[in-house]
Structure 1
Amino acid sequence: MAKSTYSADDITVLEGLEPVRKRPGMYIGGVGMQGLHHLIWEVVDNSVDEAMNGHATEITVTLHGDGRTVTVSDNGRGIPVDRNTKTKKSALETVLTVLHAGGKFDEGNYKTAGGLHGVGASVVNALSKELVAVVRRDGAQYRMAFAKGQPTSALQKLKGAVRGSGTTITFTPDPTIFPKTDFDSATIRTRLETASFLHRGVKVTYIDDTAKTKETFLHEQGIVDYLGKVLKERKARPIHEAPFTIRKQDDPRMEMTMQWTESTDEHVRSYVNGIPTGSGGTHENGFRSGLTKAVRNYIDTHSLTPRGVKISAEDIREGLVGIVSIFISEPQFQGQTKDRLNNPEVTPAVENTIRPAMEQWMNDNRSVADSIIARIIAAARARAASRAASDAVSRKGSGKRTMLPGKLSDCIASGKGNSEIFIVEGDSAGGSAKQGRDRNTQAILPLRGKVLNTESATLKKVLENKEIQDMVAALGCGIGPSIDLANLRYDRVILLADADSDGHHITTLLLTFFYRHMPALIAAGRLYIADPPLYRIDIGKETYWAADEPAREQILAKHKGRANPEITRFKGLGEMMPKVLWDTTLNPKTRRLMKVEIDDQLETDRVISDLMGRDASARFRFIMERAEDAEAIDV
């Protein structure tokens, strides 16, 4: 029951690092795997800042044998250890225990830095079960230990003289904060290799004690080497030999490189002060604007505009693979996770750098430029044909009830808030879902059998497929470049398939379609996957639901010794009674939904291409490399 009074004593004041432990998502974006790894990035970014400003040449990251403890070490100047006059504590303790404390607010210490909020090190400390800092400065070595943001030892000056300088941070995430505290080695390795590309001449070493491996990354060509790696991993064939590259050293410092390829999509990776900006921002806006204007100017200057074809900005950038890296003194990031750059002055700065340089490069390399323009015109013609075909499909799903698929059981609230559509595998499952649903807000669209593998199909074949036509018509927002989410008839699109391997395959086929042809749906956070149970376990008078075998074994182990359990394995959703399907899978209060999100565009593209593409050798390698990990095959 709510209190009837509200006074000054009801105001809670969180001191020190309490706000971080109380609301960790505000500082690291969440406590899932992305937030967990963000702890490493915060510490690594501090070491990178030392390297960017000429104070460090080596960074070493170690994942210890437990898989949960990480050490980040650099040969920079070392965090100061003398007493801070304001906090009456050592500078080391201040940096690690006080929010918004650091050396990056004073322009004299760092010209550019990734961690300007001054919360990185202290946040890592607050969310760690244990953190130990060791500093080498002025021929001596100092150590201080912490637990959950609080000092557990005084600052100690260790015996013996040491050579060099630097900082070493070792920490273990707090399991009371994070559901899982095991780091993913591949994620760490990828981030560190990227850092070595972005900071030419900096030696980055990764030691993985869990796998007994050690790798050193050092790339003298920087982002040009990085572009080559991205092209190779994407299997994108360039249409011109040498990339276009810019290196501008004065403020703001910029490095950009790009190549047009035969691929049909655009792929740009951007960074600010070495921090990946997955959601782009003003630097990407300037890059795209300057590039588009340069190409248009070249086309106009040389009278290359084709008759009857309108060239859009998307046509110009189709097949482009680029790396954009800028360094600025006062970055304004959107949120502590630094996913998007907001500095408005950066857009014209980047645009005015790339536009004249790009025009000059094209005029100096006429044969290369003409091949690029030919590729752009071809893209414009193909886009026009694709738009005409997709518009034809979209018109069938314009939102009028008479034009909707006959097998769609629509909901009363379609087109309104809180509505959702379940795309269901098979008529049998669709029948149970139709009977068990909430007719006010839940629509059901059953599909017949396994849908088309759109990764291996032509656009013409995709648009002619009856199941895909029904999906597009039901959603009402179009497909491909003409998609308009303002016309989406539901708040959420939920994929609902059986919990067995067959169902997982169908879900993968649907995800491939949405990723390739309706990616805006994923980017907007509107696509979900339902998580129905595979097992029903009755123990005495109680019923439990298990999504898979490990969950089943966990339930059985927890209730070992009680009445003999009765275990039912569902062969499909069609076997479930409508009420059971409602209770376990459809009811918003009790169901489990997984939102489809893309953390790494490059890795997602590679996985879909390998597993769903025409090249069977990639799938064969995948199976052979993981054959020993398969304990059983669900057939």
Structure 2
Amino acid sequence: MVTAEYSAHHLQVLEGLEAVRKRPGMYIGSTDSRGLMHCLWEIIDNSVDEALGGFGSRIDIILHPDGSVEVRDRARGIPVDIEPRTGLSGVEVVFTKLHAGGKFGGGSYAASGGLHGVGASVVNALSERLDVEVDRGGKTWAMSFHRGEPGIFANGAPDSTFTPFDKSSELRVAGRAAKGVTGTRIRYWADPQIFTKDAAFNLEELEQRARQTAFLVPGLEIVIRDERASTQASAGGPVETSYRFDGGISEYADFLAPDTAITDTWRLTGTGAFTETVPVLQPTGAMVPTAVERECVVDVALRWGTGYDTVTRSYVNIIATPKGGTHQQGFDAGLMKVIRTQVEQNARRLKVGNDKLEKDDILAGLTAVLTVRIPEPQFEGQTKEVLGTPAARQIVANVVTRELTARFASSKRDDKAQTSLLLDKVVSEMKARISARTHKETQRRKNALESSSLPTKLADCRTNDVADSELFIVEGDSALGTAKLARNSEYQALLPIRGKILNVQKASISDMLSNLECASIIQVIGAGSGRSFDLDAARYGKIILMSDADVDGAHIRTLLLTLFFRYMRPLIEDGRVYAAVPPLHRVIAVNAGSKPNDTIYTYSEQELHALLARLTKAGKRWHEPIQRYKGLGEMDAEQLATTTMDRAGRALRRVRVSDAESASAVFELLMGNEVAPRREFIVDSSANLSRESIDA
């Protein structure tokens, strides 16, 4: 029964860490694996902040078999002396009091990722057990907590008997530390009452974030050791990876770049000062609004490449801000101002006319890492995804404008050549955008199909239903002849290609478009390419790559996947690209009497041997020799239809983005411009080569 009475005794006051356990999503975003990972990074970031301040150069992260995780560093160690206002040790204050820490305007940290003083205490509140050890002053100090409450466990298990402290808590001395050795070790077990059953630490995500942090803090080594049972079963033992990069964000930008560079990786650095009024804690315990001088340090690494994808990463005090904020706005504003000014000054050479650059024209092919360091930045929420400090916008814009303008004004030969190439690329992107828009506005798909001259070698289908139609890209004219007889011409179209198409991984856009095979594929699909690609305009519901089941066929399929991944990626993302699976062998099993013989197709050597073993066990014979298809052209129309083209019996492999990404990465390794990685791959992999697998 709902009552209308509402008075003060209906209000709940959640004391201390009770609020965190009541509303965990408010502090860590969610209670699934994402929230679990957020807790881990709250602990790791505290160690990273120490390294950022010059204390400690190594952080160890250990995923234990019992589900716990441990973070070790060799920094200054959490203070162990008594905090005068609470009468508690520094360790207990950090792990039990919300909004307590050394990052609120004191002299301990110039800039840090932990800003709200809730990280360690929130993790403690959401842990079934948390153990902390601190090496400081020649001693090892230790303390344990159960769901945020300090006390003593009977043994090392998280579910062992826990005895909370009665009157006063104790930071016990657990041993002696070597002279001059300081550091912190934190191990905790996430609380199953809070987190979902399937919540687990994601090793791939952890490694990715560790690599990112190592890039952002040059000289810091982060070691991850996975001792979980599932990992050891699959890997044959614990997996340990280490990350350390001395090149900083310049090395990070080169790592992120998806294309061949047309400029070097440029560093734009500078500082700016601003004043803001913030509450400052006075010795009396009162918070007094005070005008404080701040310094914002800006460091940007950026480069342009031949592609059109944009890769940007922004960080504040090494904390990622995936949704941007004021620093990202300042970067975009400064970038646009400089490039527009340079294009206007070179308008005659670039033949710009009255057209105006847009943001996307400038960002095409850009890889940038933007970092700012600000004391006590303003974030939107504890997850820190958006920077809100207003002054950062103008400071970043000023630094980018000043440094980039100086780069364009440089008299060095390399700088002149690179800036000239950059302006040419930006203007060509603008012209391509305007041309694509004009084409889209003046020509509908129907008119394009009726008036455009599609390649003569295209054997089109009759249906107008895009979702039901299929385009088979066939290897060679011999396979085309058989495929024409095997297809259902109502909804299956055929486009033959001659051998291996252009390697678009290292070819320019103009080379790709001038290549007859690539241009034919783009024209037949009818949806454009690159940034102007329009998925709704695609003429076919499925694109099926049908190549021979041999090494050359795999090579051709990889080349085609690279073309689709780089220039028609929405087709892959929408699940419209497939690879046909033609058989390798045809076995005719002899039946007794007048019963017709069975025709069986196999798709691998292992499958063939398994089939022959079954036939032998059943006492059946088969015709020798067993037919092995070296190519699609060796099949007759009935065989090709039955095995590869007829919807009733065929098998198709859907190409996922990860498949195309790996194909692109393999091609960059094996056929890209960089020779050193290819040589290293050949030397390292030669021992694994099976001579029997060489198709020669």
Is TM (by shorter chain) over 0.5? yes
| Greater Cα shift, 205-214 or 590-599 | 205-214
**Matched AA of 1:405:** P
Question: Given that residues 530 and 567 in structure 2 are in contact (C-alpha distance below 8 angstroms), is that contact kept between their aligned partners in structure 1?
Answer: yes
> What does residue 360 of structure 1 align with?
402
**Matched AA of 1:475:** I
**Matched AA of 1:322:** A
Higher-Rg member (1/2) = 2
Deviation at 1:605, TM superposition (A): 6.7
Question: Given that residues 571 and 577 in structure 2 are in contact (C-alpha distance below 8 angstroms), is that contact kept between their aligned partners in structure 1?
Answer: no
**Given the superposition, is the C-alpha separation of residues 49 and 621 from structure 1 closer, same or farther in structure 2, using an over 3 Å criterion?**
same
> What does residue 580 of structure 1 align with?
643
Question: Within 5 Å, which residues of 2 pair with 1:420-431?
Answer: 420-427=470-477, 429=479
> What does residue 610 of structure 1 align with?
669
**Given the superposition, is the C-alpha separation of residues 596 and 42 from structure 1 closer, same or farther in structure 2, using an over 3 Å criterion?**
farther
CA distance in 1, matches of 2:118, 2:360: 35
Question: Given that residues 267 and 320 in structure 1 are in contact (C-alpha distance below 8 angstroms), is that contact kept between their aligned partners in structure 2?
Answer: yes
**Matched AA of 2:654:** L
Which secondary structure state, in structure 2, belongs to the residue aligned with residue 165 of structure 1? strand
Question: Within 5 Å, which residues of 2 pair with 1:561-600?
Answer: 563=618, 570-573=629-632, 575=635, 576-582=639-645, 591-597=652-658
**Given the superposition, is the C-alpha separation of residues 580 and 608 from structure 1 closer, same or farther in structure 2, using an over 3 Å criterion?**
closer
- Which of 197, 214, 222 is equivalent to 1:204? 222
> What does residue 267 of structure 2 align with?
243
**Given the superposition, is the C-alpha separation of residues 440 and 354 from structure 1 closer, same or farther in structure 2, using an over 3 Å criterion?**
farther
**Given the superposition, is the C-alpha separation of residues 634 and 381 from structure 1 closer, same or farther in structure 2, using an over 3 Å criterion?**
same
> What does residue 375 of structure 1 align with?
421
Deviation at 1:578, TM superposition (A): 1.3
CA distance in 1, matches of 2:520, 2:62: 49
Deviation at 1:479, TM superposition (A): 2.6
**Matched AA of 1:166:** R
> What does residue 497 of structure 2 align with?
447
> What does residue 693 of structure 2 align with?
633
Question: Given that residues 409 and 444 in structure 1 are in contact (C-alpha distance below 8 angstroms), is that contact kept between their aligned partners in structure 2?
Answer: yes
What TM-score does the superposition give when structure 2 sets the normalisation length?
Answer: 0.58
> What does residue 553 of structure 2 align with?
503
**Given the superposition, is the C-alpha separation of residues 280 and 499 from structure 1 closer, same or farther in structure 2, using an over 3 Å criterion?**
farther
CA distance in 2, matches of 1:213, 1:116: 31
Deviation at 1:493, TM superposition (A): 3.6
Residue 263 (structure 2) pairs with residue 217 (structure 1): no
Deviation at 1:278, TM superposition (A): 8.1
Which secondary structure state, in structure 2, belongs to the residue aligned with residue 323 of structure 1? strand
**Given the superposition, is the C-alpha separation of residues 177 and 500 from structure 1 closer, same or farther in structure 2, using an over 3 Å criterion?**
farther
Which secondary structure state, in structure 1, belongs to the residue aligned with residue 655 of structure 2? strand
Deviation at 1:626, TM superposition (A): 1.0
- Which of 175, 181, 186 is equivalent to 1:167? 186
| Greater Cα shift, 453-462 or 432-441 | 432-441
Residue 45 (structure 2) pairs with residue 48 (structure 1): yes
Which secondary structure state, in structure 2, belongs to the residue aligned with residue 498 of structure 1? coil
Residue 532 (structure 2) pairs with residue 471 (structure 1): no
Residue by residue over 1:509-551, the C-alpha shift from the partner in whole angstroms, topping out at 9 and shown as x without a partner, is 11222344444555x4455342626556989999998765567
Deviation at 1:382, TM superposition (A): 4.8
Residue by residue over 1:24-65, the C-alpha shift from the partner in whole angstroms, topping out at 9 and shown as x without a partner, is x99569xxxxxxxx9878745641255348898465446899
Question: Within 5 Å, which residues of 2 pair with 1:243-392?
Answer: 243-246=267-270, 255-260=298-303, 263=306, 268-272=311-315, 274=318, 287-297=331-341, 306=349, 308-309=351-352, 310=355, 312=357, 313-314=359-360, 316-317=362-363, 320-325=366-371, 330=379, 343=386, 352-364=394-406, 366-367=409-410, 374-380=420-426, 382-383=428-429
CA distance in 2, matches of 1:256, 1:591: 49
**Given the superposition, is the C-alpha separation of residues 223 and 344 from structure 1 closer, same or farther in structure 2, using an over 3 Å criterion?**
closer
Deviation at 1:400, TM superposition (A): 0.7
**Matched AA of 1:359:** T
Residue by residue over 1:470-498, the C-alpha shift from the partner in whole angstroms, topping out at 9 and shown as x without a partner, is 21112112234543334223455443433
Deviation at 1:387, TM superposition (A): 7.7
Structure 1: stretches of 5+ with no match in the other structure: 1-15, 30-37, 79-90, 96-101
**Given the superposition, is the C-alpha separation of residues 444 and 375 from structure 1 closer, same or farther in structure 2, using an over 3 Å criterion?**
same
Residue by residue over 1:259-296, the C-alpha shift from the partner in whole angstroms, topping out at 9 and shown as x without a partner, is 44574556534145657688989975663344112332
Deviation at 1:355, TM superposition (A): 2.4
**Given the superposition, is the C-alpha separation of residues 325 and 362 from structure 1 closer, same or farther in structure 2, using an over 3 Å criterion?**
closer
**Matched AA of 2:671:** M
CA distance in 2, matches of 1:423, 1:492: 11
- Which of 109, 133, 138 is equivalent to 1:136? 133
> What does residue 3 of structure 1 align with?
none
Residue by residue over 1:216-237, the C-alpha shift from the partner in whole angstroms, topping out at 9 and shown as x without a partner, is 6264x74245346668x97646
What TM-score does the superposition give when structure 1 sets the normalisation length?
Answer: 0.63
> What does residue 412 of structure 1 align with?
463
Question: Given that residues 545 and 557 in structure 2 are in contact (C-alpha distance below 8 angstroms), is that contact kept between their aligned partners in structure 1?
Answer: yes
Residue by residue over 1:212-260, the C-alpha shift from the partner in whole angstroms, topping out at 9 and shown as x without a partner, is 98756264x74245346668x97646458x6213567989977541344
**Matched AA of 1:423:** I
Residue by residue over 1:298-332, the C-alpha shift from the partner in whole angstroms, topping out at 9 and shown as x without a partner, is 655x6767563146345544564421246866457
Question: Given that residues 52 and 199 in structure 1 are in contact (C-alpha distance below 8 angstroms), is that contact kept between their aligned partners in structure 2?
Answer: no
**Matched AA of 2:211:** E
CA distance in 2, matches of 1:453, 1:509: 6
Residue by residue over 1:149-195, the C-alpha shift from the partner in whole angstroms, topping out at 9 and shown as x without a partner, is x9665569999447543324699xxxx979xx9977xx976653331
CA distance in 2, matches of 1:629, 1:558: 28
Deviation at 1:354, TM superposition (A): 3.1
Question: Given that residues 405 and 470 in structure 1 are in contact (C-alpha distance below 8 angstroms), is that contact kept between their aligned partners in structure 2?
Answer: yes
**Given the superposition, is the C-alpha separation of residues 259 and 617 from structure 1 closer, same or farther in structure 2, using an over 3 Å criterion?**
closer
Q: Report the RMSD for the aligned CA atoms in angstroms.
A: 6.3
Question: Given that residues 495 and 529 in structure 1 are in contact (C-alpha distance below 8 angstroms), is that contact kept between their aligned partners in structure 2?
Answer: yes
Which secondary structure state, in structure 2, belongs to the residue aligned with residue 324 of structure 1? strand
Which secondary structure state, in structure 2, belongs to the residue aligned with residue 245 of structure 1? strand
Aligned residues with identical type, % of pairs: 22
| Greater Cα shift, 204-213 or 465-474 | 204-213
- Which of 530, 552, 555 is equivalent to 2:579? 530
**Matched AA of 2:545:** L
**Given the superposition, is the C-alpha separation of residues 51 and 572 from structure 1 closer, same or farther in structure 2, using an over 3 Å criterion?**
same
Question: Given that residues 408 and 443 in structure 1 are in contact (C-alpha distance below 8 angstroms), is that contact kept between their aligned partners in structure 2?
Answer: yes
Question: Given that residues 583 and 591 in structure 1 are in contact (C-alpha distance below 8 angstroms), is that contact kept between their aligned partners in structure 2?
Answer: no
Structure 2: stretches of 5+ with no match in the other structure: 1-20, 79-90, 105-111, 135-139, 148-156, 164-170, 178-182, 191-196, 228-236, 275-293, 592-596
Question: Given that residues 561 and 660 in structure 2 are in contact (C-alpha distance below 8 angstroms), is that contact kept between their aligned partners in structure 1?
Answer: no
Which secondary structure state, in structure 1, belongs to the residue aligned with residue 545 of structure 2? strand
**Given the superposition, is the C-alpha separation of residues 280 and 572 from structure 1 closer, same or farther in structure 2, using an over 3 Å criterion?**
farther
CA distance in 1, matches of 2:130, 2:605: 42
